[in-house]
Structure formats: structure tokens, C-alpha cells
Structure 1
């Protein structure tokens, strides 16, 4: 068994990550953290988003690496191979994570892009599988895939693979309903550790706030906390919110339970739900309800 887990860690960029997901997912199910929230439609969407892209985009990135990069960057293969491993890892961390911050942020701030990212926020729960819950076109243009492939081509393969493994694990760990960072807030002796960690890296508390159904109640903050791995980008660009608390409700206040195929493949397939942002001739972004009213409704529902 020990050898199995050692092998899983060594293969985080392959089948090892699936072991990690299965372990966290099993904990969520065992403790009933998704009870009553994970509908059939959600299950299909989450599983399709978790499994199918791994086959599709492996081939796409392979083509990009073997055919496109040699064409657009001729003679530059292994040009950065002289860079030390640690420096290479730092370059990759900053380059990829900063690009992801802006990619994510723009999908919240530009109406037409929001509909591609909306799928990720439609879940009324947090879970390890929510990390992969994305419209296929949002995934297809993720900058990290192409930047990583380019850096590997340029000779930073080792650092790139290490970062990719770390990024994948951390991202899943921040989406899970297992609120493992709570221990840092519970014990005063650990508060200095929490203060540093939550300003350096994204944590479950800060990312759960981003998935909240409310904004402006002191906990939910879906208009910020855009960081993928590093939370420092939110601090630098003024989109940070730290409360050390977890939202009572997750998802989108105007979500209409669009079928899984419309959420995954919009705009190829439209939602049959009239008035949905994913429906034919639907609005790019629905007018937000008065946030104070939303907050009050959520609080009343929680009290009941």
C-alpha cells in the first residue's frame, strides 16, 4: 500500500491525480458533505467534465507541442535548459499563475465570456469535482496548457511538470468541501501561519468565498478572489477578501438548473430553460438581484 501511494505521488501528472480525487471525493461522500445537493444532472456534468477533457486535450496539447511550437519557435528548443531548476520553477509559477488570474478575472467581468465560465459557478455545493466543472471551451483556451507546453519545449520540462502537479493538487484541495484550513483559524497559536498562508496561497476559505451565492455580506465575494494558486495577485490588484469564514450557500442566485449538455457544450447546445443565460437569445448576463435582498433570503433560509 505504501508503495502504491509513493507511485501515485510520483505520477501526479497522470493517474496519481485521479487517486487524490478519489480519496477526497470518498471523504466528502462518507461524511455526507454533498448530501441532498448533488443532483443527477450535477453528477453527469461533474463526471463528464472530470473525465472526458483528459482524453481530448491530451491530443490537442500533444499536437501543439510537436507541430505548432517547432513551427512558431524554430531553433529555440531547449533554449532555456541552462536555467537552474529552482529559478525555472519560480518563472513558471509567476508566468502561468498570473496569466490564469487574468484569464479567470476577465471571464467574470466580460459578459460574453461569463457564459463560458458560468458552469463552474452553477454548483450549489463545493466539492473536489467542482474544480473540473467547466465549459469545454473555457478549458480549451486555458492559457496554462499552452504556456506549460511552450516552457517544456524551451527546456523547462522538469520545473513545468513539478509545477503542474503542485497546481493541480492545490486547486482540487481548495475546491473540496473538506475545509482543512479551519484548524489554522481555530487555534490561536496557528494564526501567524494562517496569516502568511492565506496571503500567499489560495485557501479553501478564500476560494469558497469566490463561489458564494452572495456578495457583500462579509463572507461571500464572487466579484474577487480570482487567484488560482497565488493569492498575492488579488492583494496586488485589489480583488482580495479574507474573512476566514465559509459561505452558507454556494452557486448562482439566478441559476435555472440548465441541463448538463448545455452547460458543458454551450454555445453548440443551448439550454431549453427560457430566460437562461445559456438559452437561445438568452441574456449575456442576467440583471443581478439586489444583493441585500439576496443576503437576507439566504439568512432566512439558513435560520429555517
Structure 2
């Protein structure tokens, strides 16, 4: 069977499993209502005070985090990483400009613009549905949103690796030869514009789940920020035996530096790097379920793309609007689709033997 057919079969199979995963938290919520006899949708219509809402202190904290808090945290970590020399000599002028543009423009232009127009269009697309879901208890709302949001992003991410014509829209995030806050938001503008989380959060806010959506967004941002950091905060969990049980749960539940750094490695053949998998963003659990992950408790020695040509920052950020002048680049006019010239790294689109596995591979170094 051709590898393309294997890829299609694996995607189809896992999408069917995903339908069940999407429905699971909703089904569990309905079951809990049936067992307890609770009918919050009725109470919400008679007593507006029962509309779910985060506690005032929690709301204040997360509102600040969502506006200026997370960028400040990211900048602080970036400064710490730079001071510790974790970028070595790999942060060239071209890389700095690209990282800064990708850090600022999506937050200042793309996200606010998409959110504004989404909230203007939603009343036209979904008339009379504003605040229709305010009756859902906060905990259930947060669980449902976490699954819907992160599983959708898992697929958005995975397909950009497995579908050849999508790869170049995500390639910018993988071209960085280093890990850290500098590159955490490094994405092509097209990839950022169609990023599912922006639209989902706006829609959920319109439907009345704004507080839960905000809560999940902040928690997810903290986890993904930590996973991209070049500071290996998870290392103590692997070093001290008393923490090994917690490490076992942690590394299978959420993305950590060890598992996500493996996804950014520039090789897949050293037993540590795994750019053909480890697609999870907030939850690594999806990689466990679909067999697309490995856990090594080790960190790659090098990152990026073997055939990286240091393409101009504007080409990486604005492709295909602007193309690279680097001959043979994937981002140049008429360049190869997935860098599949002889001797170059071949992306997941062309080889996926691990996807046929039933469970996550785990290797430890003691």
C-alpha cells in the first residue's frame, strides 16, 4: 500500500475516533444531569443570577493575563533565556526580526481584527442565539471547550504536517534553529489568520460561554508557553524518583518541554527527536490516543529544519504573498513542496510508520 494511502487511512480512522472524543464531555455532562436530577437550563431562564460566571478574583486575574499578562510572561521568560545564553549564536538579525514581527502583529492586528468582525457577523449568522448557553455550569463549560478547542488545534497542526500543500504555511514555526519564547509565536500569517482558537473563542463568547473560554485560553497559553520555553522546567520530575509517578501522568496529559522540543528537533533518527509526531498543544493526551507521540524524557541537541536556507523574514511571514529569493527554497517561486530533494529532511507527508502504532512509545533514561 502506498504511503499516501496509509496516511489517508490513518487520518480517516483517527477522525472517526475524534468524533467520539468531541461528544464525550457533552455526554458526560448530560449523564451527570440525569443522575443528579439537575436542570440548569430551566433555572437559567427563571433566575439570571444563576448564569455561570468565574469568581471575581479569578476573573480579574485571567482578564489581566489575557490582555497584557501573557505577553509580559513571555517577554520575561525570553529575557531570562537570553541572559542564560540559551540562544547561543543562532539568533541572527533575520531571525530576530521574524520572531518580533510574529510576536507583535498577530496580537495587535490579526486577533483583534478577527474577533471584532466575528462578533459583528455572528448575530447575522446565528440570530437569536446570543447567550443561549449561559446555563451550562462553569466546570462543564471549561471541560467541553478544552476538548473542542485543543482537539481541533491538534488536527489543524497535524494536517499541516501530513498534507503536503499545507506544510509551507506552518514551516515558519519549525525553521527556528532554537527553542524559546522568541519563537513560540513564530507562524506564517495565513496559518495565524485561520487559527481555530480565535474564531472558537469569539463564537463561544457570543453564545454565553465567554468566562469559560477565557479560562481555557489562559490555561492553554501557559502550558504551551512552558512547552516552548528553552528552560526545561519538567526535568526535576524525571530526576527525582519520588516525582516519577507525577511525571508519568504529567507527560501523558499535557505538553512539556521534553515532548514538545522533540517535535521541533531537526532529526527523527536519534531516538529523541520526533518531528513526525508529538502534535499536541495543550494536551499531549491526543498523541497518546492516536499513537502519534513518543516520550523519552530527554531533549534534542538541535532544532529546526536540516534544509533551512535562512529565508528572508518577510517571505517566511507572508508566503505566498511574498516569496523567497533563496534558490531551491520551499518558499521560492517554483520551490519544492516539502523539501524532498535527495538528502534533505522528508516531512511526515512522506513517511508515517509510527502512526500505525496503537499507543505512545515511551523511553526513559533512568
Same fold? TM cut 0.5: yes
The list of structure 1 runs, each at least 4 consecutive aligned residues, that deviate by more than 2 angstroms after superposition, is 6-10, 288-291
Q: Residue 277 of structure 1 corresponds to which residue in structure 2?
A: 330
1:231 matched to 2:275? The reply is no
Q: Residue 139 of structure 1 corresponds to which residue in structure 2?
A: 192
Question: Cα offset for 1:129?
Answer: 2.3
Question: Cα offset for 1:237?
Answer: 1.0
In 2, Cα distance between equivalents of 1:268 and 1:195: 44
1:127 matched to 2:180? The reply is yes
Provide, for residues 77-131 of structure 1, a one-character-per-residue CA deviation record: whole Å limited to 9, x for no partner: 1111000000000010000000000000000011111000000000000011211
Q: Residue 149 of structure 2 corresponds to which residue in structure 1?
A: 96
Q: Residue 242 of structure 1 corresponds to which residue in structure 2?
A: 295
Question: Structure 1: any 5+ residue segments left out of the alignment?
Answer: 1-5, 292-304
RMSD: 1.5
Return the match for 1:114 from 167, 185, 204: 167
Which deviates more from structure 2 when the two are superposed, residues 69-78 or residues 254-263?
Answer: 69-78
Contact conserved, 2:254 with 2:283, CA < 8 A, in 1? yes
Provide, for residues 209-257 of structure 1, a one-character-per-residue CA deviation record: whole Å limited to 9, x for no partner: 0000000321000000001101111111110110000000100011111
Question: Cα offset for 1:290?
Answer: 7.0
In 1, Cα distance between equivalents of 2:106 and 2:210: 22
Q: Which has the larger radius of gyration?
A: 2
Q: Residue 59 of structure 1 corresponds to which residue in structure 2?
A: 113
1:182 matched to 2:229? The reply is no
In 1, Cα distance between equivalents of 2:106 and 2:334: 28
The size of the alignment, in residue pairs, is 285
Contact conserved, 1:7 with 1:16, CA < 8 A, in 2? no
Structure 2 length as normaliser, TM-score? 0.76
1:160 matched to 2:213? The reply is yes
Provide, for residues 140-171 of structure 1, a one-character-per-residue CA deviation record: whole Å limited to 9, x for no partner: 00111111111111110110011111111211
Q: Secondary structure at the match of 2:65?
A: coil
Question: Cα offset for 1:203?
Answer: 0.6
1:80 matched to 2:133? The reply is yes
In 2, Cα distance between equivalents of 1:286 and 1:60: 32
Question: Structure 2: any 5+ residue segments left out of the alignment?
Answer: 1-58, 346-366
Question: Cα offset for 1:207?
Answer: 0.2
